[in-house]
Amino acid sequence: MATVSIRTVRKAFGSTEVLHGVNVEVADGEFVILVGPSGCGKSTLLRMIAGLENISRGEIAIGGRVVNNVPPKERDIAMVFQNYALYPHMTVRDNMAFSLLLAKAPKNVIDEKVGRAADILGLAPYLERFPRQLSGGQRQRVAMGRAIVRDPQVFLFDEPLSNLDAKLRVAMRAEIKDLHQRLKTTTVYVTHDQIEAMTMADKIVVMNSGNVEQFGAPLELYDRPANLFVAGFIGSPAMNFIRGRIEGGAFRSGSVSLPLPATAPASHTGDVVYGIRPEHLRLDPNGVGATVLVTEPTGSETQVIMQLGDAVMHTETRMIGAFRERISHRPGETLHVASDPTLAHLFDVTTGARLS
Partner 1 sequence: MDASTWQPSRAQPNWLVRLFDYKPFLIFICLLPACGLLLAFLTYPLGLGIYLAFTDTEIGGNGEWVGLDNFISLMDDRIFLTSVWNTLFYTFTATVLKFGLGLWLALLLNHQIPFKSFLRAIILLPYITPTVLSAIAFWWIYDPQFSIISYVLVDRLHILDHYIDFLGTPWAARWSLIVANVWRGIPFVAITLLAGLQTISPSLYEAALLDGASPWQSFRHITSPLLMPILAIVMTFSVLFTFTDFQLVYAITRGGPINSTHLMATLAFQRGIPGAQLGEGAAIAVAMIPFLIFATFFSYYALGRRKWQQGSDND
Contact 37, 193 (CB under 8 A): no
Please identify, using beta-carbon distances, which residue of 131 and 278 lies nearer to partner 1.
131
Scanning 4-12, 127-135, 265-273, 332-340 for contacts with partner 1 by CB under 8 A, the matching segment is 127-135
Please identify, using beta-carbon distances, which residue of 94 and 220 lies nearer to partner 1.
94
Does residue 54 belong to the site contacting partner 1 (CB under 8 A)?
no
* Nearest one of 127, 115, 119 to 91, comparing CA atoms: 127
Does residue 78 belong to the site contacting partner 1 (CB under 8 A)?
yes
Min dist CB 193 to partner 1, Å, is 20
Does residue 237 belong to the site contacting partner 1 (CB under 8 A)?
no
Min dist CB 93 to partner 1, Å, is 13
The CA distance from 226 to 215, in Å, is 9
The CA distance from 55 to 53, in Å, is 7
The CA distance from 92 to 95, in Å, is 5
Find the binder of partner 1 among 1, 18, 85, 238 (CB under 8 A): 85
Amino acid letter at 256? Answer: V
**Site track for partner 1 across 21-50, x = CB under 8 A:** -----------------------------x
Find the binder of partner 1 among 130, 224, 250, 314 (CB under 8 A): 130
Contact 134, 140 (CB under 8 A): no
Please identify, using beta-carbon distances, which residue of 13 and 87 lies nearer to partner 1.
87
Min dist CB 302 to partner 1, Å, is 37
20 by DSSP, 3-state: which? strand
Scanning 1-9, 59-67, 71-79, 301-309 for contacts with partner 1 by CB under 8 A, the matching segment is 71-79
Does residue 79 belong to the site contacting partner 1 (CB under 8 A)?
yes
DSSP 278-316: GGGEEEEEEEEEEEEEEEEE-SS-EEEEEEESSS---GG
Side-chain half-sphere CA neighbours of 127 within 13 A: 16
Does residue 135 belong to the site contacting partner 1 (CB under 8 A)?
yes
Using CA atoms in the order 208, 209, 210, 211, what is the torsion angle rounded to 10 degrees? Answer: -40
Determine how β-strand 4-13 pairs with β-strand 57-62: antiparallel
Find the binder of partner 1 among 8, 23, 83, 334 (CB under 8 A): 83
Does residue 293 belong to the site contacting partner 1 (CB under 8 A)?
no
User: Helices 136-148 and 107-121 meet at what angle, rounded to 10?
Assistant: 140
Does residue 72 belong to the site contacting partner 1 (CB under 8 A)?
yes
Residues 93-122 interacting with partner 1 (rule: CB under 8 A): 98-99, 102-103
Residues 143-202 interacting with partner 1 (rule: CB under 8 A): 146, 150
Please identify, using beta-carbon distances, which residue of 165 and 178 lies nearer to partner 1.
165
Please identify, using beta-carbon distances, which residue of 96 and 335 lies nearer to partner 1.
96
Min dist CB 13 to partner 1, Å, is 13
Min dist CB 351 to partner 1, Å, is 39
Does residue 88 belong to the site contacting partner 1 (CB under 8 A)?
yes
Alpha helices in the chain (DSSP H): 42-50, 92-102, 107-121, 136-148, 166-183, 194-200, 218-223, 228-233
The CA distance from 67 to 70, in Å, is 5
The CA distance from 293 to 306, in Å, is 5
CA angle 126, 130, 135 (to 5 degrees): 70
Residues in contact with partner 1 by CB under 8 A are: 50-52, 72-73, 77-79, 81-83, 85, 87-90, 98-99, 102-103, 130-133, 135-136, 146, 150
